[in-house]
A and B are shown apart, each in its own frame.
Chain A
Amino acid sequence: MSVGYSAVQWSRQKKVYDAVLWGGIVVYLGLFVGVGAATFPDVTIETLLIRGLGTAALLLLHIILCIGPLARLDRRALPLLYNRRHLGVSMFLLAAGHGLFSLVQFHALGDTNPLVSLLVSNTRLDAVSQLPFQPLGAAALGILFLMAATSHDFWLRQLSAPTWKALHMLVYVAYALLILHVALGTLQAETSPLLAGMLGLGVAAVVGLHGVAGLRERAADQPLAASPAADGFVDVCAVDDIPEKRARSVHLSGERVAVYRYDGKVSAVSGVCRHQNGPLAEGRVIDGCITCPWHGYQYRPETGASPPPFTETVPTFRVRVSAGRVWLHPVPLPPGTHVEPARAEEGA
């Protein structure tokens, strides 16, 4: 955890982030409703709100899904990643507004419970264009609710990072459901190619970025080809391959290891941050601590432990430098174990 951590981190950066986010949402909804009312005077305000909230949520979901792979491909996108959960919760609120207004407008005026009506009003399965699209949106909203409700470090801590991440991977299921919801719903009656084209571009951007980033990650996760020495150490890279106060990521024992060079020393810790499993090898040494690029969690290079009063720890690895090469022992030591750093110029 960062030395600057406080329980409620309403930093200036977060306030600006949220102000820009909600300012943008209000402007979008205002423009959508205003232009819509002027262009289509017969459309009711409820219908305009349903469409405005729905399109805003879908647009925001595309942005959210693009931030992850963009941050993997270009470090300049990292600041967008810091508060991505704010985007996610905001997107859920917009989607919930869309769902609530739709439920009232289309299902609340009959003698059937609106939720029952939502599920049983269309049971046609005989043609693609007639498939019930509203339950798909409702299922996606359920997933987004689970994600929004657990978008806090309290739940991250309770569930552990891998479980929390596995839960939040359901966003991809929600995204596919929402694309089908739109394609089988409004696009069936839409004659203009504009909306279909925009949705197609959005899907291509999300899928394309994830594909490129995934291929790059997969290439980085290839195990080292070098054979271990008699004492089990493995030659992983040259000292000069590691920039000062930065790291090189190597794949060892089925995991990523961050090999850091700093102040004439070399240390190695697990490449997986305890917070959200962020890539520690892509961080920097700041104030003598390895700093995760995602949310700023910090660890001392020699021990893999967060500076007091914080208690997070990551596994460490024994390291030595010989003839300008860095050698690692592939067996991780228990999290927080002190390992004497190797001197960068040793044996050079």
Chain B
Amino acid sequence: MIDALRARHRWMTAAMGLAAGGGLVAALAARPAPVTMSALPDALLTAPSTAPARLSGGDLWDGAEIDTTVYPDQIALTVREPLRAPAPLLYWAPVRPAVGDGGVPAGARLLGTVGDGPAQRFALSSDQGALLIFSLGRSKVVATLSLEAP
């Protein structure tokens, strides 16, 4: 009987190898491409501003490293380091909140979603106040920028 058990052991290990190895290869082959937020169609993108820039630099934000150019009517962002904050949303606000605040200030307006990748442009209706990035996943302000001229 033990001989039959040994034969069954050999068959089971062979089947295990096929199932585990084949399953792993099939699952890796079927893995979807990583989803990014930078693939907006051109039609949905804000056209580049023709006005001269008011502010420009990579260190304008408190709490994030984002190459930023502020025009009178729009803002262009290129995220250099991933924000590491789930669901980051860009708001304009009449007053500048502090990083870590648990909500957006009264009167804030949503401008869009901040993604990784090439420059994103958002329309601005005011050149006063501040911009902030609010993480919906963490429910707190993760970065702020003052629109006031330095």
Contacts and interface: CB of A to CB of B under 8 A. Distances in A.
A172 B15 contact: yes
A200 B25 CA distance: 9
Contacts of B5: 162, 165-166, 277
B24 A183 contact: yes
Contacts, number: 99
Interface in B68-92: 84-86
B27 A128 contact: yes
A277 B2 contact: yes
Contacts of B109: none
B138 A42 contact: yes
Contacts of A255: 2-3
A206 B20 CA distance: 10
Contacts of B31: 129, 187-188
A176 B85 contact: no
B13 A172 contact: yes
B43 interface: no
Contacts of B102: none
Interface in A255-308: 255-256, 272, 277
Contacts of B21: 203-204, 207
Contact of A207 (B20, B23, B26, B29): B20
A119 interface: no
A202 to B, nearest CB: 9
B34 interface: yes
A127 B29 CA distance: 12
Contacts of B16: 172-173, 175-176, 206-207, 210
B27 A180 contact: yes
A179 B24 contact: yes
A129 B30 contact: yes
Contacts of A200: 24
Interface residues of B, number: 31
A221 interface: yes
B19 interface: yes
Main secondary structure of the interface of A (DSSP, over half): helix
Contacts of A277: 2, 5
B72 to A, nearest CB: 35
A217 interface: yes
Given A180-B27, A184-B27, A207-B17, A221 B8 contact: no
B27 A129 contact: yes
Interface in A170-214: 172-173, 175-176, 179-180, 183-184, 187-188, 191, 196, 199-200, 203-204, 206-207, 210-211, 214
Given A42-B85, A128-B27, A221-B6, A210 B32 contact: no
A254 interface: yes
A287 B12 CA distance: 38
Interface in A295-341: none
A269 to B, nearest CB: 14
Contacts of A211: 13-14, 17
Nearest to A208: B17
23 contacts: A40-B84, A42-B84, A129-B31, A162-B5, A165-B5, A172-B13, A172-B16, A173-B16, A175-B16, A176-B15, A176-B19, A180-B19, A183-B27, A188-B27, A196-B24, A203-B17, A203-B20, A211-B17, A214-B13, A217-B10, A255-B3, A256-B2, A272-B2
Interface of A: 40-42, 127-129, 162, 165-166, 169, 172-173, 175-176, 179-180, 183-184, 187-188, 191, 196, 199-200, 203-204, 206-207, 210-211, 214, 217-218, 221, 254-256, 272, 277
